[in-house]
Amino acid sequence: MAIVEQIDAPAGARRRLRISSPVTREAVGEIDVQTAQDVGAALEIARKAQPAWAALSFGERARYVTRALHVLLDRHEEFIDVVVRETGKTRLEALYMEIFASCDALQYYAKRTAKILRDRPQRMHLLSLMKQLRIVYRPLGVVGIITPWNGPFILSLNPTVQALMAGNAVLLKPSEVTPYSGRLVADLFEAAGLPDGVLQVLLGDGETGQALTESDLNKISFTGSVETGRKVAEACARQLMPCTLELGGKDPMIVCRDADLERAASGALFGAFMNTGQVCCSIERVYVAEEVADEFIAKVVEKTQQLRQGANGEADIGAIFRPEQLELIERHVEDARAKGARILAGGRRNPDLEGLFYEPTVLTDVTHEMAIMRDETFGPVLPIMRVRDEEEALRLANDTRYGLSGTVWTRDKHRGVELAKRLDVGSVCVNETEMIYGVTEAPFGGLKQSGIGQVNGEAGLRGYCYAQPILVDRFGAKREQAWYPFTAKKERTMKRIMRLLWGTPLGRWMS
Ligand code: NDP
């Protein structure tokens, strides 16, 4: 049974989808696929609502966001129910990844946007005697936010709160796999009293997402796969519409010979298996120094065997959220097995559980000829490769079309940072994993095919604005030196100024 199935609808009606739980396979609900016409109607409403929203002060907007935070604190169990029912992730995982991180985002942007986006005077290296410069952060207008199914609440809420605090109206399109978790974002802000039309959620599938990218919006903030990201970029390019693309990864973990192997092994498990491995910055491949490889691998295998799988109680590892993903994981593991990899743990669907459960899996004897070391797996698998030294680890880690993030494990933190600087990825953790997207101050984004632009923190907030410089003349002279009429005397003066500014030590100091 597919988790998302198209069901019959009367001729001329919208297409209709049934969503089923990946754990029980029971129907969770049905949605209509919203069309280009629906997107157009929503955009019209958003355009009308946005100016009044943008006219509020940061403090006034923050009051709505803070109210949303209190609603979330009060109703978080209900929100967890929705996310768990739709995804099959464990409750604790939903609490950590979806709710805790969302509370932090709501508070962070409610409290700090005024400081980050306030109008600011900007000193100029020349001209300051004669002119004043101010930088003003103006909202873009109406922003389209398109999100994936793996973190369906946080990945929808986080960009939404940033766009709203910056003064934009938002059209949010969550994944067809997790529409109800996406719709929680609208429920939350509705309960917080957000003015009508400022945030609208459009349910549907790729058709709805495509309609958004082809609408007359002011920006698309997209999180999803490289393949869809490319289509979004093409659609945005046709309209010269800005977009940020947060795409997939194949994140490497480098374990140096001096690493704390106990911490590194536990970190490898959490980094690879959290959210059943369905995290953009999951650890997807490990390079471990030969001298410590046996000990590291033994620890990883022992810890993996202790993990408990299921959707209830204190289970560590939940379900795969959709069948297509499970099939991809199986293809990668089978390809690796056929090419000589050894499976030290897992390597199969969990025979004791109904639903889409794949056992946490550890492989060795892997090579870069295998899909599992080259393409995003997005599942609970941890392929480990032995390397001669850190140089070989770096070369292999960078041998990929992806560049989202990575981790380095060593007791020498200085060396860790130096190695981090040589990884061709958007962000790196040293002796840490799965944290960086949740660190609000850290600009997050990918290099190579892992994306364009950055989200979160100051860079993310400013990405939802247009930075408008306003230059103001100080003294109101009747005419400026550079204005008409052009004369030979002005030419001589200009040349003298050039020589002074860039041809003398005093000038160079002044400029
Ligand atoms: P997809 O690219 O399949 O889908 C992402 C979103 O795009 C969904 O809402 C989808 O709708 C929509 N969509 C589908 N077709 C189009 C289209 N033609 N135009 C516009 N939108 C469209 O990604 P997944 O949902 O499968 O998510 C998993 C991927 O997301 C992984 O590669 C993962 O690494 C990446 N990801 C990246 C993150 C980052 O911050 N870098 C964070 C989290 C995930 P629908 O699902 O309804 O078809």
What is the domain partition of the chain in residue ranges?
A: 3-247+457-466, 251-440, 478-510
Show which residues are catalytic: 246, 280
Tell me the CA–centroid distance for residue 372 and ligand 1, in Å.
20
Domain 3-247+457-466 top-level CATH class: alpha beta
Q: Does residue 197's CB lie within 6 angstroms of at least one atom of ligand 1?
A: no
3-247+457-466 matches 251-440 in fold: no
Q: Does residue 177's CB lie within 6 angstroms of at least one atom of ligand 1?
A: yes
Can you tell me which atom of ligand 1 is nearest the CA of 229? 2
Pocket perturbation via mutation, ligand 1, pick of 6, 145, 146, 440 by most ligand atoms within 8 A of CB: 146
- Return the structure tokens found at 329: 């994981």
Rounded (10°) angle between helices 226-239 and 206-213: 30
Pocket perturbation via mutation, ligand 1, pick of 5, 155, 175, 282 by most ligand atoms within 8 A of CB: 175
Q: What is the mean pLDDT of residues 23-31?
A: 92
**pLDDT tens digits along 104-119:** 999 999 999 999 999 9
Tell me the whole-structure pTM to 2 decimals: 0.97
pLDDT computed for residue 2 by the predictor: 62
Q: How far from 386 is each of 296, 366, 392, CA to CA, in Å?
A: 10, 9, 10
Tell me the CA–centroid distance for residue 386 and ligand 1, in Å.
33
* Alpha helices in 30-100, H assignment, sequence order: 36-55, 58-87, 91-93
Q: Which amino acid is at 397?
A: A
Cα–Cα distance for residue pair 418/96, rounded to 1 Å: 31
Tell me the CA–centroid distance for residue 67 and ligand 1, in Å.
29
Residue pointed to by tokens 């010979």? 257
Cα–Cα distance for residue pair 98/438, rounded to 1 Å: 10
Q: What is the β-pairing status of strands 120-121 and 451-452?
A: unpaired
**pLDDT tens digits along 428-455:** 999 999 999 999 999 999 999 999 999 9
- SS3 (DSSP) at 312: coil
Tell me the CA–centroid distance for residue 478 and ligand 1, in Å.
57
The set of residues, in sequence order, having a beta carbon less than 8 Å from that of 485 and lying 6+ positions away, is none
Q: How confident is the model at residue 279 (pLDDT cuts 50, 70, 90)?
A: very high
- SS3 (DSSP) at 4: strand
**pLDDT tens digits along 244-277:** 999 999 999 999 999 999 999 999 999 999 999 9
Question: How many CA atoms, within 13 angstroms, populate the side-chain half-sphere of residue 91?
Answer: 9
Q: Does residue 148's CB lie within 6 angstroms of at least one atom of ligand 1?
A: yes
Tell me the chain's radius of gyration from C-alpha atoms: 26
Q: Which residues of 132-161 are buried (b: 16+ CB within 10 A; e: fewer)?
A: eeeeebebbbbbbbbbbbbbbbbbbbbbbb
Can you tell me which atom of ligand 1 is nearest the CA of 212? 20
Tell me the CA–centroid distance for residue 59 and ligand 1, in Å.
33
pLDDT computed for residue 314 by the predictor: 86
Answer yes or no: is pLDDT of 296 > 60.
Answer: yes
Answer yes or no: is pLDDT of 1 > 60.
Answer: no
Pocket perturbation via mutation, ligand 1, pick of 87, 220, 228, 236 by most ligand atoms within 8 A of CB: 228
Tell me the CA–centroid distance for residue 148 and ligand 1, in Å.
4
Tell me the CA–centroid distance for residue 248 and ligand 1, in Å.
9
Domain 251-440 top-level CATH class: alpha beta
Cα–Cα distance for residue pair 150/350, rounded to 1 Å: 20
Cα–Cα distance for residue pair 250/373, rounded to 1 Å: 8
Q: Phi and psi dihedrals of 366, rounded to 5? A: -95, 155
Q: How confident is the model at residue 474 (pLDDT cuts 50, 70, 90)?
A: very high
pLDDT computed for residue 306 by the predictor: 97
Q: Does residue 205's CB lie within 6 angstroms of at least one atom of ligand 1?
A: yes
Q: Which residues of 484-497 are buried (b: 16+ CB within 10 A; e: fewer)?
A: eeeeeeeeeeeeee
- SS3 (DSSP) at 72: helix
Cα–Cα distance for residue pair 164/495, rounded to 1 Å: 50
**pLDDT tens digits along 334-356:** 999 999 999 999 999 999 999 99
First to last CA, the chain: 69
Q: Which residue has the least CA distance to atom 30 on ligand 1?
A: 224
Q: Which residue has the least CA distance to atom 13 on ligand 1?
A: 206
Q: What percent of the chain has pLDDT over 70?
A: 100
Q: Which amino acid is at 171?
A: L
Compute the mean pLDDT over every residue in the chain, rounded to the nearest whole number.
Answer: 96
Q: Does residue 406's CB lie within 6 angstroms of at least one atom of ligand 1?
A: no
